[in-house]
Copies of this chain bind each other. A is one copy, B any other.
């Protein structure tokens, strides 16, 4: 039996210099032992259309099949996202919608760690609040503590390394909690 824990990480932003994508990359060096992280892009997904999903799953677009395949073997998810209009970015929610349907959904019941970064204050608190009903709908248990990173500029160096010690500690705590939850679910 393979004891390695596989996480899949998704950024909610498509911007090249997105602080959220930078944070997702920075998480790689904070992973607990025997935990791997693979990044999966939401870019290239079409807009959700039920006619090409359920009930005829053979109609799913190739990009959707690839995206769902990328999630299939994940033990848990890391989602790092900005807040758009006090809520979840539409593109990210669109990816969740594509992954959510069918008895073969690759995200239902999986544990998830949620993070967000903002240049200013508040650290995506309203985006994270908007995720609560979505996680509830999908039976996805969210790991504590929540990670809200405000005033991003002061927290990273010019290479995108997360230099803020408090934030690093919180993320390590969140990832350990995610790992423990996954181990508990396995046994």
Contacts and interface: CB of A to CB of B under 8 A. Distances in A.
A58 interface: no
A14 B51 contact: yes
Nearest to A47: B91
Interface stretch (A80-88, A110-118, A168-176): A80-88
Contacts of A178: none
A126 B134 CA distance: 10
A50 B15 contact: yes
A55 to B, nearest CB: 12
A145 B10 CA distance: 38
Contact of A94 (B18, B91, B96, B138): B91
A95 B90 contact: yes
Contacts of A89: 48, 93-94, 97
Interface in A64-95: 84-95
A94 B96 CA distance: 13
Task: Please tell me how many copies of the chain the complex holds.
Answer: 2
A43 B50 contact: no
Interface in A90-144: 90-97, 100, 126, 129-130, 133-134, 136-138
A112 to B, nearest CB: 13
Contacts of A25: none
Interface string A132-167: 011011100000000000000000000000000000
Nearest to A16: B51
Contact of A48 (B14, B16, B95): B14
A91 B90 contact: yes
A162 B67 CA distance: 38
